């Protein structure tokens, strides 16, 4: 058991060291959601009113509404960044080093997923700290309750990223992921607008949002941030995390994208 | 069949990438405690054989047999025991340029399940042997090509493996550095019984007593110690032997 713990610690430590070395990554991880919160949400708060809805007990500003969605956005970009680095490592050959470890391949991949999820947490708390400035001030218990929720959502998104990276042959193709995965996933969810608003917009949009895993992640974070447990979202996110992790580990092929030398 | 103890052997090993046959019915023996050289031109199948022996590819046909404790056992999938005794240096650098030399080596030691204190001791010993301990805290991106290669060799030996595989590790290095690296590994073979598989297309890196396999188009062309091969074929040196192998192949009718 201690042997596996050492391997896990090594992988996690490396992810944190890389994160610390890449300071611009931390800055961009914070700037992106803060722009949405401070610029976009401030501009739209007069247009987009949010009526009383759980978990909020009263009328809320638009900034308060989109804060959980922006937390999930941080987790989404972090997961896709990790998936990108997997494709990069595979193309550059560094992945081979990981795979010559005596630890089982599935253990190595899951350790990498957990390590990536852990790296996202300081980014989330950095964002929530700055969000206090625009009166996004959930109860203290919410800061604690959101931790396991964020970890679980980060794992689910990381597994989706790993699954996507398994099907990408070359690094250049990853730009397509931005257009066809990240943006639809974010916009077609409850991150920016409540689902009932989507229902008003049209049944198709609502159905897409309702089947988007990201929606359940956002809602799990939203309820947790206000100290409430949303059992249905928890069950769905846990189930999706298990399914995507299983699919990602089964479809992982370290040789993908590597052509024989001539 | 070699009369010396073996570390690994392949029997009728084949591998293809789609229509391209990379290895074809290869019988090969890696002698324990020796500097085994795998020679061949680009595209001969060296890297494919390397990936198969490192467990990165699964054999499509044939067998890989390991003599880890003296007894032969077929490697269908690389066992934890086999991988724990394996050190690998890949052709492309796999060091993380953003991390320091020490952090790179500690990461590798952790992947091998080593305790941090034991890892730090071993890292110091390996870096001192390669005269790089003073660069422990330097970021890898500040090292030159030769130093990076030495760090990779130190990393591959941190967990004290019995078997070290190196895939064209001297590509892009100057002659002095290449000679230093081969001399260092020959010494490790002699003094510590390390088994080395050195993949190269640079013949001057091979000593007369080294077991050699010359691969050509995925097939074994010549096998034996370098001295025996020269005696058997009447070639003046390995360069001439390689040239003959290539020209004989060019004269074969294409099917």
Nearest Cα of chain B lies from the Cα of A17 at a distance, in angstroms, of 7
Residue B102 lies in a domain: no
Q: What single-letter DSSP state applies at residue B72?
A: -
**pLDDT tens figures, B198-222:** 988 777 778 888 899 988 888 888 8
Mean pLDDT over B154-173 rounds to: 90
Lowest mean pLDDT, pick from A208-212, B27-31, B184-188, B233-237: B233-237
Give the burial class of B166: count Cβ atoms within 10 A of its Cβ; 0-12 exposed, 13-18 middle, 19 or more buried.
buried
Residue B43 lies in a domain: yes
Nearest Cα of chain A lies from the Cα of B231 at a distance, in angstroms, of 31
Per-residue pLDDT at B253 exceeds 50:
no
> Given an 8 Å threshold on Cβ–Cβ distance, is A102 in contact with B56?
no
Contacts of A11 in chain B (CB under 8 A): 107, 110-111
Phi first, then psi: what are they for A255, rounded to 5°?
A: -90, -5
- Secondary structure (3-state) at B38: strand
* CA B243-B246-B248 angle, 5° bins: 105
- Secondary structure (3-state) at B21: strand
Tally the domains of chain B: 1
Per-residue pLDDT at B225 exceeds 50:
yes
Q: Which residue of B has its CA nearest to A94?
A: B94
Q: Which residues of A touch B (CB under 8 A)?
A: 3-4, 6-7, 9-11, 13-14, 17-18, 21-22, 92-94, 96-103, 254-255, 259-262
Q: Taking a C-beta distance cutoff of 8 angstroms, is the pair B155, B108 a contact?
A: yes
**pLDDT tens figures, A197-236:** 777 778 888 889 889 999 999 999 999 999 999 999 999 9
| Averaged pLDDT score across all residues of chain B | 87
Residue range(s) defining the domain that contains residue B23: 7-97+172-249
Contacts of A112 in chain B (CB under 8 A): none
Q: How far apart are CA B67 and CA B162, in angstroms?
A: 11
> Given an 8 Å threshold on Cβ–Cβ distance, is B106 in contact with A103?
no
pLDDT at A111: 94
Per-residue pLDDT at A83 exceeds 70:
yes
**pLDDT tens figures, B96-149:** 888 999 999 999 999 999 999 999 999 999 999 888 899 999 999 999 888 999
How do the domains of chain A map onto residue ranges? 2-251
pLDDT at B249: 62
* CA A248-A253-A256 angle, 5° bins: 125
Overall pTM > 0.90: no
Q: Which residue of A has its CA nearest to B82?
A: A102
Per-residue pLDDT at B1 exceeds 60:
no
Residue B162 lies in a domain: no
**pLDDT tens figures, B51-97:** 899 988 888 899 999 988 778 888 877 888 899 999 999 988 889 88
State both tokens at A132.
């206090």
Pairing of strands B195-200, B163-167: parallel
How does A161-179 read in b/e, with b if 16+ C-beta sit within 10 Å?
A: bbbbbbebeeeeebeebee
What is the four-CA torsion angle of A6, A11, A13, A16, rounded to 10 degrees? -160
ipTM > 0.85 for the complex: no
Binned at pLDDT 50, 70 and 90, residue A48 comes out as low
CATH number for the domain harbouring residue B199? 3.40.50.300
């Amino acid at each position: 058991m201690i042997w596996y713990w050492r391997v896990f610690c090594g992988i996690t430590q490396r992810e944190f060291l890389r994160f610390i070395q890449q300071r611009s990554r931390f800055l961009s991880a914070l700037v992106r959601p803060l722009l949405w919160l401070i610029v976009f949400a401030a501009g739209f708060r007069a247009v987009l009113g949010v009526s009383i809805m759980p978990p909020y007990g009263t009328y809320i500003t638009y900034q308060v509404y989109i804060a959980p969605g922006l937390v999930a956005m941080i987790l989404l970009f972090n997961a896709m960044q990790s998936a990108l680095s997997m494709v990069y490592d595979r193309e550059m050959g560094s992945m081979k080093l990981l795979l010559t470890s005596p630890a089982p391949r599935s253990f190595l991949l899951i350790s990498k997923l957990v390590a990536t999820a852990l790296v996202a947490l300081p980014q989330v708390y950095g964002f929530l700290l700055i969000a206090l400035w625009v009166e996004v001030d959930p109860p203290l218990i919410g800061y604690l309750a959101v931790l396991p929720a964020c970890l679980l959502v980060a794992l689910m998104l990381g597994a989706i990223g790993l699954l996507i990276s398994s099907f990408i042959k070359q690094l250049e193709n990853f730009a397509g992921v931005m257009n066809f995965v990240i943006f639809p996933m974010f916009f077609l969810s409850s991150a920016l607008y409540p689902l009932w608003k989507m229902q008003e917009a049209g049944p198709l949009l609502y159905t897409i949002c309702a089947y988007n895993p990201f929606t359940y992640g956002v809602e799990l974070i939203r309820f947790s941030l206000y100290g409430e447990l949303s059992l249905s979202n928890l069950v769905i996110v846990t189930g999706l995390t298990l399914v995507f992790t299983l699919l990602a580990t089964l479809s992982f092929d370290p040789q993908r994208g590597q052509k024989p030398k001539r | 069949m070699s009369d010396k103890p073996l570390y690994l052997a392949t029997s009728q090993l084949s591998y293809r990438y789609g229509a391209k046959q990379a290895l074809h019915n290869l019988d090969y023996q890696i002698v324990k405690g020796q500097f085994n050289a795998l020679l061949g031109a680009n595209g001969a199948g060296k890297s494919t054989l390397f990936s198969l022996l490192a467990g990165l590819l699964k054999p499509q046909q044939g067998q890989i047999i390991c003599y880890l404790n003296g007894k032969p056992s077929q490697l269908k999938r690389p066992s934890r025991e086999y991988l724990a005794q394996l050190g690998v240096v890949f052709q492309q650098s796999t060091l993380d340029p953003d991390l320091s030399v020490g952090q790179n080596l500690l990461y590798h030691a952790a992947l091998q399940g080593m305790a941090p204190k034991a890892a730090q001791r071993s890292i110091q010993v390996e870096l001192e042997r390669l005269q790089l301990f003073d660069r422990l805290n330097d970021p890898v991106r500040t090292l030159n090509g030769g130093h990076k290669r030495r760090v990779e060799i130190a990393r591959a030996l941190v967990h004290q493996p019995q078997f070290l595989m190196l895939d064209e590790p001297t590509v892009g290095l100057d002659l002095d550095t290449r000679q230093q690296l081969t001399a260092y590994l020959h010494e490790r073979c002699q003094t510590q019984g390390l088994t080395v598989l050195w993949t190269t297309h640079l013949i001057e890196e091979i000593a007369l007593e080294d077991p050699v396999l010359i691969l050509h188009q995925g097939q074994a062309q010549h096998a034996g110690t370098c001295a025996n091969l020269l005696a058997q074929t009447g070639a003046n040196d390995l360069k001439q032997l390689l040239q003959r192998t290539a020209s004989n192949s060019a004269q074969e009718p294409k099917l």
